[in-house]
Amino acid sequence: MVVDDDPVNIQVLVNHFSLRNWQTMTALSGKEAMTIIREDKVDLVLLDVMMPDMSGLQVCQEIRELYTHSELPVILLTAKNTRRDIVIGLQAGANDYLTKPFSKDELFARVHAHIEVAKAAAELCMVKEAVQTGTSFLRHAIKNDVGMIQLFNEKIREYAQAHGIESLIRDTDIIMKKNAHLLGMISRIHDLTADIQLYLTQGDLVQTIRQVVNTVRTQCEKENIRINFHCKSFVFMAYDPVHMEEVLYNLVQNAKEAIEPSKGEITIDVTAEKERVYLKIMDTGSGIPQEHLPFIFEPYYSTKRRESNFGLGLSYCKRVIEKHGGCISVESTARGTKVIVTFFRTGERG
């Protein structure tokens, strides 16, 4: 839609767009434009800034009360081209700023680009909704299966207790803990496509780390990979145990997969200060190429040579840690990789 109080300007733009067979709606005032926007489907608005009664900036602000930048792109058209004018236009909610006079090719390029971005955003939104719907069905199915596992696990536990089989009792304890963790993760798996929600409780972070280490230790022993855990004291802090356990498992499992069998070790070190807690996970693997380091926290990015997946990835880990008010960094050389996680117990980052 073209919005301009000058009919000549409108006709020029309509003629331009007719060359591309683009359908064009027009409005001679801001009020007329808002009426059309509320009643019809508009893909993009070309909006003149200097109009009587209702300026283009005011129209843009009203549009933003109805639509986001991706839902309805707005390109401002004006002869004003100072940096301050551009900033004011963008702050009013415009996607782009085109100063007069402009070429036909530049106009086509900008309009086409913003429409394509809007289409991509709409498709992404549909995919997100589909994923969230799918996870609801997945959660229901997994809960049913986990319930059956739990039922049979209790029967195995009763048998083990009746016959005094301590090793089997310990195994059933692990199954119960893993079932509880799986239910906790599946109930919040929508966090992959939505904002992560934390359920903070006061607990000992070291205990959670030990649980993860004990889970991974058996796998490491099978591959003759040594795992060391160093911590001199308890570390009590507020954290989400479900998300934190998944993050820790991802990081430790990632370290294990970086090491060739029988050729290295993993060291986990926890240091607690008055206001900060430092968690370091170090491996003696082949390291991450330096050119990959800037991208390792991006969603779906992977440097793995194997097809296996280690949970929700470093992108998820970073989001969870930052939600806890912490930060994560990675250092890597050809002799190994070090992941450093910092938690700020006071809630203040220095």
Condensed to tens digits (0 to 9), the pLDDT of residues 156-203 reads 999 999 999 999 999 998 888 888 877 777 765 655 555 677 889 999
pLDDT at 94: 92
Confidence class of residue 348 from pLDDT cuts 50, 70 and 90?
A: very low
pLDDT at 349: 45
Q: Is a pLDDT exceeding 60 seen at residue 304?
A: no
Confidence class of residue 301 from pLDDT cuts 50, 70 and 90?
A: low
Indicate the CATH number of 2-102 among 3.40.50.360, 3.40.50.2300, 3.40.190.10, 3.30.70.100.
3.40.50.2300
CB 160 within 8 A of CB 169: yes
pLDDT at 134: 65
Condensed to tens digits (0 to 9), the pLDDT of residues 310-344 reads 335 788 889 899 999 999 999 999 899 999 999 99
pLDDT at 195: 61
Domain residue limits, the chain:
2-102, 129-192, 201-344
Mean pLDDT within 199-217: 91
pLDDT at 282: 96
pLDDT at 309: 37
Q: What percent of the chain has pLDDT over 70?
A: 87
CATH of domain 201-344: 3.30.565.10
Alpha-carbon torsion, ordered 163, 165, 166, 169, to 10 deg? -90
Condensed to tens digits (0 to 9), the pLDDT of residues 2-12 reads 999 999 999 99
Q: C-alpha 95: how far from its chain's center?
A: 23
pLDDT at 277: 93
Condensed to tens digits (0 to 9), the pLDDT of residues 41-69 reads 999 999 999 898 899 999 999 999 998 88
Span of 164-178, 236-250, 295-309, 315-329 with lowest mean pLDDT: 295-309
Q: What percent of the chain has pLDDT over 90?
A: 43
- Most confident option among 24-38, 91-105, 211-225, 292-306: 24-38
Condensed to tens digits (0 to 9), the pLDDT of residues 91-140 reads 999 999 888 888 888 999 999 999 999 888 888 777 766 666 666 566 66
pLDDT, averaged across the chain: 85
CB 56 within 8 A of CB 3: yes
Mean pLDDT within 283-289: 91
Span of 31-35, 161-165, 191-195, 261-265 with lowest mean pLDDT: 191-195
pTM across the whole model: 0.49
**Three-state helix/strand/coil letters over the chain:** CEECCCHHHHHHHHHHHHCCCCCCCEECCHHHHHHHHHHCCCCCEEEECCCCCCCHHHHHHHHHHHCCCCCCCEEEEECCCCHHHHHHHHHCCCCEEEECCCCHHHHHHHHHHHHHHHHHHHHHHHHHHHHHHHHHHHHHHHHHHHHHHHHHHHHHHHHHHHHCCHHHHHHHHHHHHHHHHHHHHHHCHHHHCCCCCCCCEEEEHHHHHHHHHHHHHHHHHHCCCEEEEECCCCCEEEECHHHHHHHHHHHHHHHHHCCCCCCCEEEEEEEECCCEEEEEEEECCCCCCCCCHHHCCCCCCCCCCCCCCCCCHHHHHHHHHHHCCCEEEEEEECCEEEEEEEEECCCCCC
